[in-house]
Structure 1
Amino acid sequence: MSQKYALALHGGAGPKAGEDYSVTEAHLAELAKEGEALLKAGETSLDVVKIMVANLESSGLYVAGKGAAPNIAGQFELDASIMEGHTRRSGSVSAIQDVVSPVGVAKAVLEKSPCVLITAEGANKFAHDEGFEKISNPKDYYVLPIGVSQADIEQEDMMHGTVGAVALDIYGNLAAATSTGGVFGKTEGRVGDTPLIGIGTWADDDIAISCTGTGEFFIRAGGALTTANGYKLAGDTLQEALWRMLDEVKRLGGDGGLIAVNRKGEIAMAFNSDGLKRAAISDNMELVSTTFTPCR
């Protein structure tokens, strides 16, 4: 066991230039400190990324969990995934409705189901059977996150928001988790990159990644696993691996960002949108929490 640890969080790559995100930056900073304390106390990376993302979901500050936007039919369909690197255990849900913590359900899929991904009514039933807290009145529960207006929700230009966390624990193990309410004005049943293991989320023995952005383009660019392969097989630095995939997303017409941590405790974050709400801390890195500061 070592004392090396690292944690990075993101609150989505959809912030609009000119908006004030000091509240979300403060929230991410506070949460990162809590996550650091958990890692130093010996919590596993898997448990920490779940706790971090569940807190992001419940805050109502981001387009995930309580801050999710409805689809064109007025339904709230949410996606989430989680993965443990050294075992490759993973779980995800897509188009799940009326649960407080989609990432909690994803972790239960990882721990209690032979499946990796459960969707729609099957995910709803699984969450009910496992006793997850249900939202009785969705229209009263969900709120508009900071920087999001009703006009944003009604438009159909793929504006987006996602939350995620990646961590290295003191046992040398990596994990990642991601959760989203999806793009604004989405079609019923639309599923993006977030619940797809290897696209929106990935963790193995060497790297953990969480993505945020226009999911269709991340899927077409290969997402998190393309990033991991760039780092592990092509000889990219951690930062170069993030930009390899992100530049392909841009070439295809999309935008977004991603965060990653490797087994050395190095952290990298990148975005090609206006900004990326993010925070990071490690045993040899002071806390950083920012939105618009360039990564390249």
Structure 2
Amino acid sequence: MSVTQGYAIVVHGGAGSPRAYDDGCERAAQRAVEELAISADALEAAIAAVVSMEDDGRFNAGSGSVLCLDGATVEMDASIMDTRGRLGAVACVQGVRNPVLLARAVAETPHWLLAGDGAARFAAAIGHPTHTTISDHQRQAHEKVVRELAGSVPAMPGISEEAKAFLRFWNYQTPLDLPAHAACDTVGAVVRGPDGHFAVALSTGGSAPSLLGRVGDTPIIGSGFYAGPEGAVAATGIGEQIVRHLLARTVYGWIEDGMPLEKALQRGVDLFDPKVPVGLIAVTRTEAAAHSNQDMPHARIVQP
């Protein structure tokens, strides 16, 4: 890779999240800048941005992750990837602080993805910090879901038949009426470092409502995230739809073929029904951009 003088950072707070959260994205982007000044490492900068949003409490990630419908369980996914060969992810992990840092630790093992109890045991083995506190924000979001039970809106936007599957395969002790609320506000960051390397980091508290054990696109390489020699891409939205398009890798392929970044992101979003929340952020050698079909808090810092 050719050495460059500048850098580029783009972060998002999730498709469908309010733009009032832009300030959290701006803080996260600034944390990435501070990390670049220390390490000049694109991956560490992307992780620093995501850690900031995990700790914010408003985003559906880390300490702000949505509660499952039992009102007690939190299942989180996270992932990291860069062009130095580092790749790590966790899925359905419970009781840990900053799952993106756990994903980073997985990248140092012989594996790339750990899930569920195995991920929790790995966290304990390496002394990763625990986190079991439920905030008022999380409880309020859960109460909103409960109030909207028995609504007439499909369980997940764009998947009208999903309600039947929920009723048939529901794996909670409590019964299910058709829910109307879905959370998809994953957080993510993409970075081009001053040395020309690219990196991406993502974190999410999953979707609400969902079956216990549900995994979306966030920890799935090529779907929620991808980094290669020409750039880094992060997706947000309804994971069940995103994975069907291998969205991050598909958009990266267009970038690799020379398509202008704004056009590639627009084309990626246009693959989906407008009712399906979806957003993308990406950096290339010369560009940095964000695009979504819903409100999506985000921030961008480019140093030429």
TM-score by length of 2: 0.83
2-structure distance, mates of 1:119, 1:194: 13
1:263 shift after superposition? 2.1
Percent identity, aligned pairs only, is: 33
Q: Which amino acid aligns with 2:242?
A: F
SS of structure 2 residue aligned to 1:141: coil
Equivalent pairs counted in the alignment come to 270
Matched, 1:269 2:290: yes
Among 176, 183, 187, which residue is 2:200 paired with? 176
Matched, 1:259 2:261: no
1-structure distance, mates of 2:47, 2:57: 17
Moved more, 63-72 or 148-157: 148-157
Among 72, 81, 84, which residue is 1:83 paired with? 81
Alignment of structure 1 residues 1-296 onto 2, 5 Å: 1-15=3-17, 21-22=19-20, 24-73=21-70, 74-85=72-83, 87-111=84-108, 113-135=109-131, 138=132, 140-144=133-137, 148=141, 150-152=143-145, 155=148, 156=179, 157-233=181-257, 235-250=258-273, 254-264=276-286, 266-273=287-294, 275-284=295-304
1:211 shift after superposition? 1.1
SS of structure 2 residue aligned to 1:219: helix
2-structure distance, mates of 1:215, 1:109: 22
- Bigger Cα Rg: 2
For the aligned residues, what is the CA RMSD? 2.1
Q: Deviations over 1:254-291 (max 9, x none)?
A: 22101000123x10111012x0110000114xxxxxxx
Q: Deviations over 1:217-253 (max 9, x none)?
A: 10112210011012113x42111111222111227x6
Q: Which amino acid aligns with 2:234?
A: S
2-structure distance, mates of 1:153, 1:90: 37
1:40 shift after superposition? 4.1
Q: Which amino acid aligns with 1:248?
A: L
1:65 shift after superposition? 0.6
1-structure distance, mates of 2:266, 2:64: 28
1:30 shift after superposition? 2.7
SS of structure 2 residue aligned to 1:114: coil
1-structure distance, mates of 2:53, 2:146: 20
2-structure distance, mates of 1:229, 1:205: 11
Q: Which runs of 5+ in 1 are unaligned?
A: 285-296
TM-score by length of 1: 0.85
In structure 1, the partner of 2:162 is none
Q: Which runs of 4+ in 1 moved over 4 A?
A: none
